[in-house]
Chains A and B, each alone.
Chain A
Amino acid sequence: MIEQSVSVAHRNFLSVKPHSVAFSINGYPLYQYEKPILNLAIQSSPSEYLLQKYKDFIKILSSDQSISSKIIPFYPSEEEFFAEKECNLLSDRVHISYREKEPLTELENRIYNIYNEYQEKNWDGYGAEPMQYLNQSLQFAKALFAESRILIESVEVIPENDGCLCFEWFKSNSKFINISVKDDKLIYTYKFGDDKSCGETTFPGKHMLIEQVKKIV
């Protein structure tokens, strides 16, 4: 984990019109980073105006559903909060601490690579669609990882011609499970000896499938 901090001072805040600043680090917006921490350290004595703007900003953050963690910091002490997207901040001087994202799990890397590699239509020579459902596939990968690292170590990710990514655990022709991620659905086939099934479920039903994966693994 690398922590760095960047000090950002922006334009003269004493003017009547508030300034808005979109924070980025080396040109990459904040949401590219793993939970960047914005330390709002107001270094100079704030005017009432500034203080009010600071309060307003916190209010905006609190109401923003996309922000995963809501901490209400307040002057004068430094507080930390997390932001997942670019945010507008009205302040005098801001210290930003951020962590470089932990290396993606190897599975997430594979998903990204396959998703990017198979963006050309007809990539299989038979009219295949470009890859879709990246976020849903990553979400599923995270769910697997949360369950057990072992599950993701033996999975193979395979592109399918309808744009889905398929997660496959294959031991033999009589012992395998395939789970394709299609929008909010998980389409599965599995065979475990004489026990053979196929169907689809939604993400809340993934635990049933993960139990089947454990049998294979």
Chain B
Amino acid sequence: MCIVMPLKVMEINGTQASGEINGMKKTVRIDLIESLEEGDYILINAGVALSRISKKKAKEIREYIDEMARL
């Protein structure tokens, strides 16, 4: 699965973080990320956060995913 999705972290609870994608609440594992804070943006793949990214990058990736989905 190549697709990574950006997520804004709204809540952190141990090894889980939750945020919103397309209006739906999403809970993911953050075991692979060091020192995450609420308000951070992360890239997720198969329910797991792989990397922290900037808000600007998250927006770009989101726009790309939406554009590809429109085809």
A binds B: no
Give me the interface of A with B, judged by CB distance under 8 Å.
Answer: none
